[in-house]
């Protein structure tokens, strides 16, 4: 499964405003749940927050990959959000986070979960790619950038 298989144009949000880590997790939970009638915003939020209690998903360099497992979910799903101003996310480098990719996986999908997290980490370790994401000013452009990202090209 590729990153683009996880998102839809409706689950991409550019230039969002948020005041805190908790509020940001609420917003990205809403983004995920709005197009998946089998789960609620509260289920998504609780899953993401439970994972954050184990340790921050803030990778550093302004990037976080909040993720969680959901009972009843049949396939992985994701949402991407770019914030106007970064928020404190308890990231490893203590820098504010402004790029977030939330990942949900079915409860029993351990291997797929780890593979997708590895792909996301590779995606967001590409400094020129993250610069382009930050420079984008609308949802459609942001979705297109994510859609066109290719793992092999990023490591070339």
Over residues 31-57, the pLDDT tens digits come to 999 988 889 999 999 999 999 999 999
CATH number, domain 3-148: 3.40.930.10
Give dist(CA 17, CA 79) in Å, integer: 16
Q: Is the four-CA dihedral 37, 5, 91, 132 of positive or negative sign?
A: negative
What proportion of the chain, given as a percentage, has pLDDT over 90? 72
Question: Any idea where the domains of the chain sit in the sequence?
Answer: 3-148
Query: Is position 67 annotated as part of the catalytic site?
Result: yes
pLDDT of residue 93: 94
pTM attached to this predicted model:
0.91
Query: For residue 151, what are the CA distances in angstroms to 78, 99, 141?
Result: 17, 18, 19
Give phi and psi for 111, each to the nearest 5.
-65, -45
Does 110 score more than 90 pLDDT? no
Query: Which of 53, 67, 74, 113 is labelled catalytic?
Result: 67
């Amino acid at each position: 499964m590729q990153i683009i298989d996880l998102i839809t144009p409706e689950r991409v949000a550019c230039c969002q405003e948020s005041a805190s880590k908790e509020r940001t997790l609420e917003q990205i939970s809403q983004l995920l749940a709005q197009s998946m009638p089998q789960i609620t915003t509260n289920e998504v939020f609780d899953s993401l927050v439970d994972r954050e209690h184990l340790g921050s998903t803030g990778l550093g360099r302004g990037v976080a990959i909040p993720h969680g497992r959901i009972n009843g979910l049949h396939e992985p799903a994701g949402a991407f959000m770019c914030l106007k101003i970064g928020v404190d996310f308890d990231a490893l480098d203590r820098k504010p986070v402004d790029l977030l990719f939330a990942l949900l996986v079915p409860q029993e999908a351990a291997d797929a979960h780890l593979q997708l997290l590895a792909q996301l980490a590779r995606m967001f370790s590409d400094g020129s790619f993250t610069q382009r994401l930050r420079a984008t000013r609308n949802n459609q452009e942001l979705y297109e950038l994510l859609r066109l990202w290719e793992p092999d090209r990023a490591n070339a």
